Structure 1
Amino acid sequence: MTERHLGDFLRGRRARVRPEDAGLPAGPRRRVPGLRREEVALLAGVSADYYVRLEQGRERNPSPQVLNALATALRLDGDAHSHLFRLAGLTPRPARSTPERADPELLQLLDGWPDNPALVLGRAYDVLAGNRLGYALFEEFRGGANLLDKLFRDADARWFYKDWEAAAVNTVAGFRLLYGQDPHHPRVREVLGSMLAHSREFAELWRANEARGKRAEVKAFRHRDVGELTLRMHAFDVRAAPGQQLVVYHAEPGSASADALALLGTLAATADQ
Structure 2
Amino acid sequence: MDRAAEISAFLRSRRARLSPTELGAPFDGRVRRVPGLRREEVARLAGMSPDYYMRIEQGRGGAVSLEIIDSIALALRLDTVERNHLLNLCGTPTPHHTPGLEPQRVRPGLYDLLAVMESVPAIILGRRTDVLASNRLARALMTDFQALPAPHRNYARFILLDPKARELYQDWEQVSEQTTAMLHLDVGRFPDDRQLAELIRDLREGCPEFTRFWDNQNVHEKDQGEIRFNHPSGGEFVLHYQTLLVPGEADQSVCTYYGAPGSSSEAALARLAGLTTSSPTPA
TM-score normalised to structure 2 length: 0.89
Q: CA deviation at 1:28?
A: 7.8
User: Given the alignment, which residue of 39, 50, 53 partners 1:51?
Assistant: 53
- The one-character-per-residue Cα deviations of 1:177-231 (angstroms, maximum 9, x if unpaired) are 1221111122222212222233231111111111121121111101111111211
Query: What is the CA–CA distance in structure 1 between the aligned matches of 2:247 and 2:222, rounded to whole Å?
Result: 15
Secondary structure of residue in 1 paired with 2:145: coil
Secondary structure of residue in 1 paired with 2:183: helix
- 1:96 matched residue in structure 2: 100
Q: Is the 8 A contact 1:2 1:89 kept in 2?
A: no
- 1:169 matched residue in structure 2: 177
Count, aligned residues: 271
- The one-character-per-residue Cα deviations of 1:9-55 (angstroms, maximum 9, x if unpaired) are 21121112222332225778311121111111111111111111112
User: Relative to 1, partners in 2 of residues 1:238 and 1:189: Cα closer, same or farther, differing over 3 Å?
Assistant: farther
Query: What is the CA–CA distance in structure 1 between the aligned matches of 2:83 and 2:131, rounded to whole Å?
Result: 27
- 1:240 matched residue in structure 2: 248
Segments of structure 2 that go 5 or more residues without pairing to the other structure are: none
- 2:74 matched residue in structure 1: 72
Identity of aligned residues (%): 38
| Matched residue type, 1:99 | P
Query: What is the CA–CA distance in structure 1 between the aligned matches of 2:49 and 2:99, rounded to whole Å?
Result: 36
**Which structure's relative contact order is higher, taking Cα pairs within 8 Å and 6+ residues apart?**
2
TM-score normalised to structure 1 length: 0.92
Segments of structure 1 that go 5 or more residues without pairing to the other structure are: none
Query: What is the CA–CA distance in structure 1 between the aligned matches of 2:157 and 2:264, rounded to whole Å?
Result: 30
Query: What is the CA–CA distance in structure 2 between the aligned matches of 1:64 and 1:113, rounded to whole Å?
Result: 42
Instruction: Please identify, of 187-196 and 115-124, the stretch whose mean Cα deviation from structure 2 is larger.
Output: 187-196
CA RMSD in angstroms, aligned pairs only: 1.9
- In the alignment, structure 1 residue 256 sits paired with structure 2 residue 256: no
User: Relative to 1, partners in 2 of residues 1:109 and 1:21: Cα closer, same or farther, differing over 3 Å?
Assistant: farther
- 2:134 matched residue in structure 1: 130
Query: What is the CA–CA distance in structure 1 between the aligned matches of 2:159 and 2:36, rounded to whole Å?
Result: 30
| Matched residue type, 1:41 | A
Q: Is the 8 A contact 1:22 1:73 kept in 2?
A: no
User: Relative to 1, partners in 2 of residues 1:25 and 1:200: Cα closer, same or farther, differing over 3 Å?
Assistant: farther
Q: CA deviation at 1:68?
A: 0.4
- 1:112 matched residue in structure 2: 116
Please list, as runs of the form range in 1=range in 2, the aligned pairs for 1:21-32 lying within 5 A after superposition.
21-25=22-26, 29-32=31-34
Q: Is the 8 A contact 1:233 1:250 kept in 2?
A: yes
Q: CA deviation at 1:59?
A: 1.8
Q: CA deviation at 1:86?
A: 1.0
Query: What is the CA–CA distance in structure 1 between the aligned matches of 2:113 and 2:30, rounded to whole Å?
Result: 59
| Matched residue type, 2:67 | Q
Query: What is the CA–CA distance in structure 1 between the aligned matches of 2:158 and 2:176, rounded to whole Å?
Result: 11
- The one-character-per-residue Cα deviations of 1:215-260 (angstroms, maximum 9, x if unpaired) are 2111110111111121110112223332222110111122111111
Q: Is the 8 A contact 1:17 1:74 kept in 2?
A: yes
Q: Is the 8 A contact 1:4 1:55 kept in 2?
A: no
Query: What is the CA–CA distance in structure 2 between the aligned matches of 1:221 and 1:141, rounded to whole Å?
Result: 18
Q: Is the 8 A contact 1:126 1:146 kept in 2?
A: yes
User: Relative to 1, partners in 2 of residues 1:85 and 1:219: Cα closer, same or farther, differing over 3 Å?
Assistant: same
Moved over 4 A (4+): 25-28
Q: Is the 8 A contact 1:3 1:60 kept in 2?
A: no
- In the alignment, structure 1 residue 179 sits paired with structure 2 residue 183: no
